[in-house]
Amino acid sequence: MRYRCNWLCAILAVPVLVVTTVRADDQDTIDYRQHIMKGLNAQSAILGQIVAGAVPNDQLAQHLDALASIASTALKSFEPKVAGGESKPAVWNDWADFSKRMNEFSQKAAHAAKLAHAQGPDAAMTSMMEALTCKSCHDVYRTEKK
C-alpha cells in the first residue's frame, strides 16, 4: 500500500514540480533584469544629484564607470524571452529596436565614463546627458508598476 502510494504520489507530484521549477526559473530571469534596472536607477539618481549640484562631482567618473558596467549587462538579461515584471511584450516583438537602443545606451555610458576620466567631470556632462535616455526607452518598453 505504501509502495503504491509512493508511486501515486510521485506521479501526481511530477507535473507540479515541473511547473514550479519553470516558474522559479522565469522569476529568476525577471529578478535578474530588475536588479540590473535597479542598479541603473540608483546610478542615474546619483548622476541627477550631481547635475543638480546637490552632491559633489568628484566621484562622477566612478559613478559613470558603474553605470557603464551595469549598462553593458542589461541587454543579455532580456535575451530569455520571459514576459513579466515591468517589461512590455514589445521588448521581444521589436527586439531589433530594443537591442539597438540598449547597445547605444551602453556605448554612450562607456564614452561618458572615458571622458570623465580623461578630461574631468565638467567635460563629461554633455555625453552623460546624451547617455541617459532612460525615459524614451521606458515609454515604449516598460509598464511602470505604481
Tell me the β-bridge partners of 87. 84, 142
Least Å distance between CB 67 and its own copies? 8
Q: Among 62, 44, 60, which residue's Cα sits nearest to residue 122? A: 60
Amino acid at 138: H
Kindly state the smallest distance separating residue 134's Cβ from its own copies, in Å: 15
* Alpha-carbon gap, residue 119 to 121, rounded angstroms: 7
Closest CA to 108 of 143, 145, 59, 74: 74
Q: Judge contact between 124 and 64, C-beta under 8 A.
A: yes
What residues numbered 23-42 form the site for its own copies, per CB under 8 A?
A: 25, 28-29, 31-32, 35-36, 38-39, 41-42
Stretch that binds its own copies, among 1-9, 21-29, 119-127, 130-138 (CB under 8 A): 21-29
Q: Is 84 in the site for its own copies (CB under 8 A)?
A: no
Applying CB under 8 A, the residues found at the interface with its own copies are 25, 28-29, 31-32, 35-36, 38-39, 41-43, 45-46, 49, 54-55, 58-59, 62-63, 65-66, 69-70, 72-73, 76-77
